Structure 1
Amino acid sequence: MVQSRRFRILVTAVAAVATLGLAGCTPAADSGTGSSASSAPLPTGTVGGAHFDDGFLSVGTGEKVVDVYFDPMCPICGTFEEANGRQLSGLVADGAITLQLHTMTFLNRASRGTDYSTRASAALTCVAAADASSTLSYFAALYADQPAENSSGLTDKQLISMANDAGAPDITECVTDDRYHSWVQQANDDALAGPIPGADIDAVTGTPTVLVNGTSYTGKVNDATALAAFISSN
């Protein structure tokens, strides 16, 4: 099932990747303040790897900061993760970088009313808050089994099971009570509206958007060598 799903996504994205740099998936005009927000209060402070006030999930302790803005439904983000995920994880493990993941939800519109981007982003936040060391394993799993655009996406039960497989603590309660739905929607809205502190862009205009110490990477999403060189030189 995983191989088949990944194949469909790559077929959709491959023509774009040949010529496209980053920001391959773009929001619609009405992508902010979606209906996926819950009535739960917005969390504050830092819990595990979730930095709620700053709007990102963080792993690593390196002096160099790499920010990645992503939507779980974006096929170009899937291509980026497939090409660069292992490399970024290695740089985190080596202490070379701090990786800050910024959840985006504007492709909720491409999940047949299930708000998949919000649900997957919130589940990732559940994992990061419960056990920061499991964040990247779960992030990789979301893209290894990424649903195609205009499908219903993975179910909450599947998202919970994937967290167990990634070695994270049980996130069942966190997922079923929609604990972080409002927060991931707010993070999406803030990134689209801007400003992006310390960055050379005013706001996020698509995903994936990658910044290294605030400088935008504009190379091809599937060129791991180019990304490595960019990280090294910034």
Structure 2
Amino acid sequence: MGVVTTTLAIVLAIVFAATVIPLILSVVGGNAAGLPSLSATNEPETDEPTGDAPQQALPTGTVGAAHFDDGYLSVGTGAQVVDVYFDPMCPYCRQFEETNGGQLAALVTDGSITLRLHSLTFLDRVSQGTAYSTRASAALTCQATLNPERLLAYQAALFANQPAEDTAGRSDAELAGLVESPADISACLAAGEYQGWSQANTEQALNGPIEDADITRIQGTPTVLVNGSVYAGGLTDPVEFRDFLTAGSVG
């Protein structure tokens, strides 16, 4: 009897180890069937850059509209400065662009403002491993260096063709196809240009400090600063945003 009992106990232990323990591990890892997953938001989950950008020296100086040392793309020469922090895959950023992009472009054209664009990459995590935010940010920077006069038009095209979160996003060919001369952008993307720079800018923005601003770091997108003051109004209210610009002596 003792031998039979011992043998049965060993068999049961083996069955337990083969079935229950893997189930526990899958739950801890967040992959068990039926468990809800966190949905993506406009708030970064980490202060670390994401994606697998090629390891290369970061660019320096100014090329076209890209101010590499300062970490932004800049158009316009107005005394009033508007900073827009966004992620190309952020749906709230698309709403802001669709509502206010036109009036910002007009203020750039008439010399009222200097518009500084900060394209972030923290939503790489919701593009199924394709690092869409990094690639789109790099494409925007390619356009800034090659065709700075078309930078805002390309930004608008990126948002007009924005992929949904939790998809692979647009391919490099599709990103290049949004400009009039796709070959230039294709070559820039194929070389991996500006991916590392975009991720370094993201790390700086999320960790801070943000110079000459009433915030120390970026905690969500879009974040819009007018002369260093944060716009806290409605993203889809152009009148409210215009009033905020006017209060900041814009226009």
TM-score by length of 2: 0.80
Shift in Å, 1:33: 2.5
Q: Which runs of 5+ in 2 are unaligned?
A: 1-40
Q: What's the secondary structure of 1:88's corresponding residue?
A: helix
Q: Which residue of structure 2 aligns with residue 188 of structure 1?
A: 202
Choose the corresponding residue for 2:45, options 28, 33, 57: 28
Q: 1 or 2 for the larger relative contact order (CA 8 Å, sep ≥6)?
A: 1
Q: Distance in 2 between matches of 1:169 and 1:151?
A: 25
Q: Distance in 2 between matches of 1:91 and 1:169?
A: 31
State whether residues 176 and 182 of structure 2, in contact with CA within 8 Å, keep that contact through their aligned partners in structure 1. Answer: no
Shift in Å, 1:35: 3.4
- Matched pairs, number: 208
State whether residues 89 and 165 of structure 2, in contact with CA within 8 Å, keep that contact through their aligned partners in structure 1. Answer: yes
Q: Distance in 2 between matches of 1:44 and 1:101?
A: 17
Choose the corresponding residue for 2:82, options 66, 80, 92: 66
Choose the corresponding residue for 1:209, options 200, 218, 223: 223
Q: Distance in 1 between matches of 2:52 and 2:140?
A: 16
Shift in Å, 1:172: 1.7
Q: Which residue of structure 2 aligns with residue 125 of structure 1?
A: 141
Q: Distance in 2 between matches of 1:71 and 1:113?
A: 16
Q: Distance in 2 between matches of 1:168 and 1:62?
A: 31
Letter in 2 for 1:171: I
Q: Which deviations, in whole Å up to 9, do the C-alpha atoms of 1:140-167 show, x marking residues without a partner?
A: 0000111000011010001111122xx6
CA distance change for structure 1 residues 153 and 35 in 2, over 3 Å: closer, same or farther? closer
Q: Which runs of 5+ in 1 are unaligned?
A: 1-23
Paired-residue identity, %: 52
- Pair 1:231 & 2:249 matched: no
Q: Distance in 1 between matches of 2:132 and 2:51?
A: 12
- The runs of at least 4 consecutive aligned structure 1 residues that moved more than 4 Å come to none
Q: Which residue of structure 1 aligns with residue 116 of structure 2?
A: 100
TM-score by length of 1: 0.86
Shift in Å, 1:168: 7.9
